[in-house]
């Protein structure tokens, strides 16, 4: 087994959401702990980690319980960066590689950092015939959403759902459905942590059947 590299003192952004590899995440940043961190990451072209909260709120409050977060997160790289006014940043970031937290520490102003171990990327895997409906339904949904966007706003740009689009790949299709399906953050986190992209897609297929989105 190949040992995955360690990243030391990775700054973390804790959210009530789960970032998947190839997922696109917009963030509006105004807390001191994140303004400095995101500014430095942008300046140096460095990633940061996104982790899902299991306790606490996204916005830190005086007297609130200490945050706790999932042990598995996703590295994020900054795609777009805007500073529309003092004390406000607007960014769009892209999920890249999953990681596992080995040790974490609370820094000044409430910023968490962690030593993390990179997890293996999903193995590229063709979608089996019995799960082909998941890809067909996803493509149909994306096309419909983009058509609605064109009709309502005149915007012809593609939806920010990760590029290149791989409707023939188990992991990519499963991850995009995991972002869109109406499930809890805890359920999304469990799906993201699965090592097998095929198992993740099988579970997504079950969820689609239960919601009537795809049979």
Containing domain of residue 165, as a range? 129-211
* Pairwise pLDDT comparison (33 vs 157), residue with the higher score: 33
* Long-range CB contact pairs, 57-62, < 8 A, 24+: 57/16, 58/14, 58/15, 58/16, 59/31, 60/31, 60/33, 60/110
Q: What is the CATH number of the domain that holds 78?
A: 2.30.130.40
pLDDT over threshold 80, residue 120: yes
**What pLDDT, on a 0 to 100 scale, did the predictor assign at position 4?**
62
Tell whether 67 and 140 lie within a shared domain: no
Among 94, 118, 142, the domain boundary falls at 118
* Pairwise pLDDT comparison (128 vs 59), residue with the higher score: 128
pLDDT over threshold 50, residue 2: no
Tell whether 19 and 95 lie within a shared domain: yes
Q: Residue 194: helix, strand or coil by DSSP?
A: coil
**What pLDDT, on a 0 to 100 scale, did the predictor assign at position 11?**
97
Residue 1 domain flag: no
Q: Which residues on neighbouring strands pair with residue 75, listed in sequence order? A: 49
Tell whether 182 and 90 lie within a shared domain: no
**What contacts 204, CB < 8 A, 6 or more positions away?**
134, 173, 174, 177, 178, 181, 191
Question: What percentage of the chain has pLDDT greater than the value 90?
Answer: 75
Tell whether 82 and 152 lie within a shared domain: no
- Could you tell me which of 103, 124, 87, 147 has the C-alpha nearest to residue 201? 124
Tell whether 62 and 40 lie within a shared domain: yes
Tell whether 11 and 114 lie within a shared domain: yes
Kindly state the tokens that stand for 22.
């190839």
**What pLDDT, on a 0 to 100 scale, did the predictor assign at position 197?**
97
Among 118, 151, 166, the domain boundary falls at 118
Which region among 62-66, 124-128, 204-208 has the lowest average model confidence (pLDDT)? Answer: 62-66
Tell whether 27 and 85 lie within a shared domain: yes
- Residue 212's pLDDT band, with cuts at 50, 70 and 90, is confident
- Residue 215's pLDDT band, with cuts at 50, 70 and 90, is low
**What pLDDT, on a 0 to 100 scale, did the predictor assign at position 1?**
40
Q: How far is CA 117 from CA 19, 195, 215, in A?
A: 17, 15, 38
- Residue written as tokens 């067909």? 136
Residue 55 domain flag: yes
**Which regions of 30-110 does DSSP assign to beta strands (E)?**
48-55, 68-69, 72-85, 88-106
Q: What is the pLDDT of residues 85-111, one digit of tens each?
A: 999 999 999 999 999 999 999 998 889
Tell whether 23 and 47 lie within a shared domain: yes
Task: Tally the domains of the chain.
Answer: 2
Residue 124 domain flag: no
**What pLDDT, on a 0 to 100 scale, did the predictor assign at position 77?**
97
Question: What percentage of the chain has pLDDT greater than the value 70?
Answer: 94
Kindly state the tokens that stand for 139.
């493509």
Kindly state the tokens that stand for 57.
């709120």
Residue 82 domain flag: yes
The pTM (predicted TM-score) of the whole model is 0.90
**What contacts 59, CB < 8 A, 6 or more positions away?**
31
The predicted model gives 148-152 an average pLDDT of: 89
Tell whether 51 and 96 lie within a shared domain: yes
Tell whether 11 and 55 lie within a shared domain: yes
Question: In this structure, how many other beta carbons lie within 10 angstroms of the beta carbon of residue 192?
Answer: 24
Tell whether 101 and 62 lie within a shared domain: yes
Q: What is the pLDDT of residues 62-79, one digit of tens each?
A: 666 678 999 999 999 999
Which region among 14-18, 60-64, 199-203 has the lowest average model confidence (pLDDT)? Answer: 60-64
The predicted model gives 54-66 an average pLDDT of: 74
Q: What is the CATH number of the domain that holds 171?
A: 1.10.4060.10
């Amino acid at each position: 087994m190949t040992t995955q590299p360690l990243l030391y003192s990775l700054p973390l952004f804790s959210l009530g959401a789960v970032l998947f590899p190839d997922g696109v995440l917009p963030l509006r940043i105004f807390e001191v702990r994140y303004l400095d961190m995101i500014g430095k990451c942008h300046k140096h072209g460095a990633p940061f980690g996104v982790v899902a909260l299991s306790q606490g709120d996204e916005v830190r409050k005086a007297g609130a319980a200490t945050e706790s977060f999932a042990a598995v997160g996703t590295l994020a790289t900054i795609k777009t960066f805007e500073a529309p006014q003092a004390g406000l940043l607007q960014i769009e970031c892209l999920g890249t590689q999953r990681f596992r937290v080995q040790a974490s520490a609370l820094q000044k102003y409430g910023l968490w950092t962690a030593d993390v171990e990179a997890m293996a990327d999903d193995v590229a895997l063709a979608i089996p015939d019995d799960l082909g409906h998941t890809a067909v339904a996803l493509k149909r949904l994306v096309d419909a959403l983009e058509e609605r966007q064109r009709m309502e706003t005149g915007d012809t740009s593609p939806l920010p759902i990760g590029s290149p689009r791989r409707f023939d790949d188990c992991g990519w299709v499963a991850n995009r459905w995991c972002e869109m399906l109406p499930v809890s953050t805890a359920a999304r986190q469990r799906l993201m942590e699965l090592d097998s992209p095929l198992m993740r897609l099988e579970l997504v297929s079950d969820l689609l059947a239960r919601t009537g989105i795809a049979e």
